[in-house]
Structure 1
Amino acid sequence: MKYSLGIGLTNNCNLLCPHCYRNKDKISNVSLKDIKTLFRYFPINSVGMGTGENILNPEFDEILEYLSKQDIKLSIASNGLTLTSLCEEKLAFFNDVEVSVDFPTERGQDSFRGSGNWSLIHQAIERCKDLGINMSLLATMMSINYQYMKDLVSLARSFDLNLRVAVYQAVFSDSYRLSYDQFWQGFKDLLSTGELISCSEPVVRAALGLNPVYSPCGHKSIRINPLGQISPCVYYNGTHTTHSLHTINDLSDLGEDILNTYYFMLSREIPSEAKDCPCQGGCFSRRALDGNLNAHDFYCPWARGEEMKLEYHQAVETDLVRSENNCNIIVK
């Protein structure tokens, strides 16, 4: 089996978005040597870049040149800086790209991400569209924007783009965490307006009647953070247990067997309380961050004695790296 690799080449960024899960205390970077080590030990079919603004990694150009020569598909998420700064030749290395938009208006976007970001993302959209690059808007669904999901679908459609939505995870703070009702209202609005390309959010897959229910995380998706730590999920850094995450340096001893170590085994395990539940435990990281690894997903309706069935319209199949990279939903 080949793996989809999600990687944060850096936690450096030109913005200070309040909902971001990156570590803002100390800048760390994955090196070209690290990347070569990953390819030596893992069979990889795609790489999706995120976390910080990846062009700020001092070896970004060299890493991108190396990755472009591998037999893989490349994707990158950006706040607009990378997509407006990278030369056309190197932008063409990507199978698809994403620009982060959490609000459907200039006022909302700039008040949250910083003055001028609305203009920057529109420059990025115009540039990538002119170059014929497959592009998506990327939104984090939070307690302060879940009610705008229909508007974000409309915004994406106005540019003939996809919309990928990931649920806010309480890595450092509950400030933007969705309530149970907000979570489901957001997804109902998304699916009533957008056509479904893919969904890897487990509890939503269960409500859609899609199988298997589990997410790609820890199964066919691996995450590397800017510290070089290897995790089944971008949101989980191992700080909630006594076990430490392994790093790229451990690959010389463990090789691909690193995927059978504690956290990867845990991510694939169905919690005892949810073995007979349609959610099958839902999102591993959400349960871990909540300190409830053996329980149902917080957003599981069946654990609350409710039923949930979401209707959807299937979009035309689209080849996107993030469809198999982490928990999210992509609509058109």
Structure 2
Amino acid sequence: MKILNVNFKYLWIFLVFISGNLFSQEQKYIPFRRGNLWGLCEANKFIAVQPQYYSISWYDESVGGFHAEQNGKFGIIDSNATIIMPFISDKPIIVNGENYLVFEGLDYYNYSIKTKMRLDKYIEPERYPINDRWGGGDNHIGELKEPKLTWDDLDDEDLDMIKPFEDEQNYQINFKANFVEILSKDSHIGIYIPKIKKMYLSTPDIAYVGWQFYNGKPYILSTNSTNLFGLVDENSNQVYPIKYASINLMDGSGLVVVSEPDQNNPNNLLYQTIFPNNKVLEGQFFPQGNVWRNGSIYRLYYKIVNGLKNYAGEDGTPYFEG
């Protein structure tokens, strides 16, 4: 029986995204976009600050508020939707000890956090030139290598499963990060997953080329001669058909991000994000952080539109219009 030949040139690896954002109990507002203007709203979409700014950042713990931009100048809006620093800085305002650092003209100036009054010009501390005092030398750090399984990671049960394919004249065994790939010349035989003690053998039409845990369950990446991808569960039942350029299971965030080739532009991919309640939004969303909604923690996600973050809630509620 002929085994399906697989072209791995376009293989997309599963990605796991972990949000490291801090969560403040004070944070209840979400940057909200209407057309090209930004304001703030609550999770239930009650508008606290009408859209009127060029941009508004995610809540910044260090300044105790949101960086907002108006007419090319930056200010700060606090957690009560009140302007606490006027729009006077040419760059986003930062904190240095007990002062704000405001960029005006060509320099930074200290402003009192308490009084909001300008104090003096900020003088940057002297820094030693790199390698000037320590003898130079080559400090180049090599590229990080992908961690891979080895024979030492396999137990007796694993070795028994792989034993039929140890004939080096007929098979090639490749160790990957969390599975073992088995090839025969240019044909893909299958993969073995030590974590779940299962072998997935390719068929003449479908090859299994990767896997990942998602919500505590294993899912297997499938492909065929189209070089597109699908997904099956641990029992080989189809979850997603083979039609995607990529399938990213974002375990821990509740999101699944898929992309399909753009029929009108072969160099472009069209992304969709599937939210925890199976609602689908256009675009590629990532975890952002949390706000409060009705006394409970409510997860937020974002996608990039025109260089700015646009937000959506865990139930797929979009906080952007137009």
Please classify the TM superposition score into its range, dividing by the shorter chain length.
under 0.3
Structure having the larger proportion of residues in strand: 2
Structure having the larger proportion of residues in helix: 1
Larger relative contact order (Cα-Cα within 8 Å, sequence gap ≥ 6): 1
Q: TM-score, normalised by structure 1?
A: 0.23
Which of structures 1 and 2 has the bigger CA Rg?
A: 2
